[in-house]
Amino acid sequence: MSNDSVGIVIPQKIEFNEPITLSSGAVLPRYELMVETYGELNADKSNAILICHALSGHHHIAGKHAESDKAAGWWDNMVGPGKPIDTNKFFVIGLNNLGGCHGSTGPSSINPETGAPYGSSFPVVLVRDWVETQARLADRLGIQQFAAIIGGSLGGMQALRWTITYPERVRHALVIASAPKLTAQNIAFNDVARQAIITDPEFHGGDFYQHGVVPKRGLRLARMLGHITYLSDDGMGEKFGRMLRSGEYKYGFDVEFEIESYLRYQGDKFSTMFDANTYLLMTKALDYFDPARHYGGSLAEAMRQAEAKFLVVSFTSDWRFAPSRSREIVKALLDADRSVSYAEIESQHGHDAFLMEDAPYMAVMRAYLNNVAKEIA
């Protein structure tokens, strides 16, 4: 493994026995969070960075669980010794959010009260509920204030929410390829994905576990649709164009174009790895997110609660959370007289650009976080 990798990491499951009342009113008497950390927490516990994951993400951000793992964590190009989120300087925390399917308590977990998977009985969780559980995790680790909270997409929404709910606990928020709330079009895409899952006969109203089946077809379609929205037209055109797998038309409905093959592969892979109920929950958390709602519809008023300094980043070809959405966040922060810098990175990788290697993007992140490191030193 290269020396800018965090190397082999071991995730841990942390148990919380104090009940949590969720935004919906539902109460979870106890829950577990799957957590992975990198680097060392310093003596005054001031160098912690929380990374919040997006729709299909999890706690495994960097490094490998075993030497034989094919791929490293989902943000390995950003997190590691000497990387923009430098684990030589920061103590970096990744977790799988409540409701997830990578080890934290979620719909596929066993409900201790019934001895069966939660399934359809798992409550809806909102971004603010995640922030609450993350705050409890910080308490457990003895972290009073994060040097930075960083997230892309849905992760950026969590970072934003943190600065509003716990202003004194966030020094810096890095909000990447995100939005202050979804548009009707965003919600529409999410609902098509949910309908694909819910109408799969093997979904069984969310209680498919007991039937020993998985609504694979629904998940697969949901992921294929999602994937289209993560890429840009130009990016897709450049990568696949109209390339045919066999070089000629077959006049049928099997896979012919490379893009079909790619999407089906992504869909198939996802449908064996991800939990259908978690997918529904994550998309609902996205749909409901709207921090301005509690401040008379004014995002600036919401951001006035914040004490953090902000870095907002968007990508030119991202049409799922377009640069204009990030500019709304920037405008609100400026109106609220908050400290903010904004970079609009030229990229053809669409929404996925926030996960990709890109020199100016990395340079902005590195420059910003270097100053954060100096500030807490």
Partner 1 sequence: MAQHNTLRPDLKHIADQIKPGSRVLDLGCADGELLAWLQANKAVRGIGVDVDVMSIVSCVEKGLNVIQADMESGLQNFEDGSFDYVVLSLTIQAMHNIELILQEMLRVGKVGLVTFPNFGFWENRWQILIGRMPVSETIPYEWYNTPNIHFCTVKDFDKLLGKMGMKVDKQVVLHQGETVDFLPNLFGSLALVQFSQA
Interface residues toward partner 1, by CB under 8 A = 311, 327, 330-331, 334-335, 339-346, 360, 363-364, 367-368, 370-371
Q: How far apart are CA 59 and CA 104, in angstroms?
A: 9
Does residue 351 carry a catalytic annotation? yes
Residue 362 CB, shortest distance to partner 1, in Å, is: 10
- DSSP classification of residue 62: S
User: Which residue matches tokens 């996960």?
Assistant: 355
Residue 339 CB, shortest distance to partner 1, in Å, is: 6
Residue 310 CB, shortest distance to partner 1, in Å, is: 9
Q: How far apart are CA 157 and CA 285, in angstroms?
A: 10
Closest of 150, 88, 5 to residue 373, by C-alpha: 88
Residue 323 CB, shortest distance to partner 1, in Å, is: 9
| Nearer residue to partner 1 within complex by CB, 68 or 324 | 324
- The active-site residue, picked from 153, 232, 326, 347, is 153
Does residue 129 carry a catalytic annotation? no
H-assigned helices in the chain: 127-141, 154-165, 184-198, 216-230, 233-239, 258-273, 276-288, 299-303, 323-335, 359-376
- The active-site residue, picked from 53, 227, 349, 351, is 351
Residue 180 CB, shortest distance to partner 1, in Å, is: 15
Does residue 318 carry a catalytic annotation? yes
Q: How far apart are CA 38 and CA 86, in angstroms?
A: 9
| Nearer residue to partner 1 within complex by CB, 38 or 310 | 310
13, β-bridge pairs:
34
| Nearer residue to partner 1 within complex by CB, 150 or 343 | 343
C-beta neighbour count of 15 within 10 angstroms? 10
| Nearer residue to partner 1 within complex by CB, 225 or 376 | 376
Q: What is the DSSP string of 255-284?
A: S-BHHHHHHHHHHHHHHHHS-HHHHHHHHH
- The active-site residue, picked from 129, 200, 275, 318, is 318
| Nearer residue to partner 1 within complex by CB, 179 or 364 | 364
The residues that are catalytic are 153, 318, 351
